[in-house]
Structure 1
């Protein structure tokens, strides 16, 4: 398997090269040369595997330049850190299945990919003796998951940008209480979109990128998307087995299009009829909702909400889906993204909207609806949702039909205790690990939303 850029201006890369490249040199995103379609025999085989075995088998479709034993060792080490043997268990709650993605070290779905990616980085760096500096932006959960994936690891420094005072207190604590020498938390005076724009522009400075050996850990890194595909397969097989069916729907709370894009690829691999639709759920930062329903991908103002990880207007992974939507045409993709960069908007005609709606249904949730969903879902089922998962559940309720729906639980409710307690009407009991965070020393730098200031900081701290 070789890898190409959505914009067509990159030599084909191997998987190992892709891991360290992050953003393609032409400004595009890196994707596999082809997405395999699985045979009924392959699907049957995958359905019988443990989570770790499933990960190995899925990864083998996309990795052909690493020995299987080496890959297996990285997978096994990555998921030993999870609090449950199943890694991402599927539980029934009322009318829906909940795919619990929060059993890793930082209690959020990003751990599934970033524990793997951290161990993969370390393995490949030790092989070559190289050093890297990881640069990433976070709207809340990616940062801590990335930090926990590489803290203390040799030959790596990590720089995480997050919007100052625009993530939850627990999310900030999970980053800032990691005081390892190779970890640098940068609180940016701006929005997540500001952080993301700084990261992208730094990666576009190819001389700076190469000089400081920068690599990405955001979902622009292909390995992140690949690792997230596994839990869609896992949930599909578990629910089909329990329900005696072959079709299910996923409801995915998303702001950056990375998590749901992993689901889109799994849908292609299984055959679209097995996952008839993906429900794309957003909060009031609804650029993706408007894209699916009205063909309107236009920039709005970021509104701070109680589901802060989704407070995003420019979705990092949108370009990957756009590439497939435009018939895998890199020139059309490049032109569209250049138009978006200059006009801050893309408009799609009715024919294109109908094609988009063959893949997705979309709904959005206001703050009042998020609070109400947490409250009523608890009253109905006894299950406590975090505010992001509640967005997905609200959308699932709107589109409920005879096909089983799996709602992705992207974070543990304890990461948002103020919001969840307010919705429930009683104080949420925090796990001991999270309570301890409030007592630990913190290490972070507050910087303006300035590319030059971030570059200066990297220059002084890079390995």
Structure 2
């Protein structure tokens, strides 16, 4: 399996292709693009049938071996078996089985329409990011041991990526983590979950700005190829291909658990800000998984919803990015969106580069086909099954109350965005699966507002906000950040 950059010049694409292990520890390609397979591997009906009874670990192995063809199968099987265990994914709730890792719960079934919630938050940090990050930690450690090398992970988080990465990487030999987050813009639980870690290989940096400012710094440092090489910089953000492909697995698991025949289709609604989670669904669909619709649910930061309604991709400046009660989606520049646009424009890397250069210089592009637009590819979006919708703070409160009253469960704010939008996109005869984002305890301020009582907390998280915290506060200055990284790596 060969990988190419979304921005590779046509003349260089063939000669610059790389294998999975070559791109595992990095983020952006040298040309500033994102890596994708040169061709998506295809899944047959016979394989789907054979996979229905597999454990999550074995299913992960079967899917990942299609992408990581340069890793010995025995090693890859051992890595997935080590990662996906009921001991790691132990935060089960009533009606769930830890052995299923990502169990489904039917919320409602009426008149041919079926709404299902897929639990993705049983991992150590109570968020779906654990599903990929735990595997990434083991893959990184495996690759570094092979090379007797070190890695300095530099990433940005709007809430859950940071803690998932840090919990996956703490204590890993040869790995340090430098994680940026927007200062005072995460929930108290999310903040404490990251900043309370005292491990010497974990560095938390609170940026005076919004997530997009932090993400821009990650890209700027990654684009300084000399610094990146000297300081051995890698990333765990969803610009890292390995993280995205690990998320593909739970789409297959959700489909196989919700259906009895490969003739059936399902749809997925995905709370989305950075387009990483739903991009994994796009990849699963391109592999042949029978997905009818992929529905992107946004909050007030509705950049993705605007594109899927109009064909206009218009990023917002920091001052125009809202701080909301679903803060992990407070993102106005979706870094993974480039992977979908690359497919949308026929895998034309020159065109992809030009469009995202326009994002960087003019703040967006227009594919609506209207006079003066940059193209007419929006007409092709339906071919890929994408729909979208938007949810506001009041919508979240109402959905949290309704779900508690109707189904007897308490959901987090991002999952509430997903359920609200999913209900607007139900189809007869097609099961709609909403991907859970996190446990409600991570956003207790809003749960208390909606329900008048605290969300239940899993054992071990009762007083996390009271723990000592270790972090530094910085302005979004790339040169200052580079100096900080260099001073703490000793390289």
Counterparts of 2:238 and 2:456, CA distance in 1: 31
Counterparts of 1:72 and 1:460, CA distance in 2: 38
User: Do the aligned partners of 1:293 and 1:353 also contact (CA within 8 Å) in 2?
Assistant: no
Aligned length, in residue pairs:
460
SS in 1 for 2:184: coil
Correspondence 1:91 to 2:110: no
Distance apart, 1:431 and its partner CA: 2.3
Q: 2:372 corresponds to which residue?
A: none
Distance apart, 1:245 and its partner CA: 6.2
Q: 2:40 corresponds to which residue?
A: 35
Distance apart, 1:388 and its partner CA: 0.3
User: Do the aligned partners of 1:302 and 1:312 also contact (CA within 8 Å) in 2?
Assistant: yes
Correspondence 1:248 to 2:266: yes
Scaled by the length of structure 1, the TM-score of the pair is: 0.97
Distance apart, 1:147 and its partner CA: 0.3
**1:125-204, aligned counterparts within 5 Å?**
125-204=144-223
Q: Per the alignment, do residues 58 and 177 of structure 1 end up closer, same or farther by CA in structure 2, a change over 3 Å counting?
A: same
Correspondence 1:74 to 2:75: no
Q: 1:440 corresponds to which residue?
A: 467
User: Do the aligned partners of 1:131 and 1:155 also contact (CA within 8 Å) in 2?
Assistant: yes
User: Do the aligned partners of 1:292 and 1:357 also contact (CA within 8 Å) in 2?
Assistant: no
Q: 1:298 corresponds to which residue?
A: 314
Correspondence 1:356 to 2:374: no
Q: 1:13 corresponds to which residue?
A: 18
SS in 1 for 2:24: helix
SS in 1 for 2:466: coil
User: Do the aligned partners of 1:43 and 1:270 also contact (CA within 8 Å) in 2?
Assistant: no
SS in 2 for 1:323: helix
Counterparts of 1:430 and 1:36, CA distance in 2: 40
SS in 2 for 1:193: helix
**1:374-453, aligned counterparts within 5 Å?**
374-402=400-428, 403-453=430-480
Structure 1 unmatched ranges of 5 or more: none
User: Do the aligned partners of 2:312 and 2:368 also contact (CA within 8 Å) in 1?
Assistant: no
Distance apart, 1:307 and its partner CA: 0.2
CA deviation profile, 1:251-282 (whole Å, cap 9, x unmatched)? 000000000000011111125xx211111100
Distance apart, 1:244 and its partner CA: 9.1
Distance apart, 1:439 and its partner CA: 3.3
Structure 2 unmatched ranges of 5 or more: 91-97, 110-114, 370-375
SS in 1 for 2:125: coil
Correspondence 1:103 to 2:119: no
Counterparts of 2:226 and 2:161, CA distance in 1: 26
Q: 1:216 corresponds to which residue?
A: 235
Counterparts of 1:45 and 1:238, CA distance in 2: 13
Q: 2:280 corresponds to which residue?
A: 262
Q: Per the alignment, do residues 248 and 155 of structure 1 end up closer, same or farther by CA in structure 2, a change over 3 Å counting?
A: same
**The 10-residue stretch of structure 1 (321-330 or 394-403) with the greater mean CA deviation from structure 2:** 394-403
Correspondence 1:46 to 2:51: yes
Counterparts of 1:75 and 1:440, CA distance in 2: 33
SS in 2 for 1:438: helix
Distance apart, 1:353 and its partner CA: 2.3
**1:448-463, aligned counterparts within 5 Å?**
448-462=475-489
Correspondence 1:276 to 2:300: no
CA deviation profile, 1:428-451 (whole Å, cap 9, x unmatched)? 232232213123221111111111
Counterparts of 1:378 and 1:134, CA distance in 2: 39
User: Do the aligned partners of 1:94 and 1:380 also contact (CA within 8 Å) in 2?
Assistant: no
For residue 245 of structure 2, the aligned residue among 226, 242, 258 is 226
Distance apart, 1:94 and its partner CA: 2.5
User: Do the aligned partners of 2:188 and 2:465 also contact (CA within 8 Å) in 1?
Assistant: no
For residue 339 of structure 2, the aligned residue among 320, 324, 345 is 320
Correspondence 1:3 to 2:6: no
CA deviation profile, 1:122-141 (whole Å, cap 9, x unmatched)? 11111111111000000000
SS in 2 for 1:432: coil
More helix by share: 1
Counterparts of 1:70 and 1:427, CA distance in 2: 44
CA deviation profile, 1:328-359 (whole Å, cap 9, x unmatched)? 11111111111111110110125522311332
Q: Per the alignment, do residues 244 and 66 of structure 1 end up closer, same or farther by CA in structure 2, a change over 3 Å counting?
A: closer
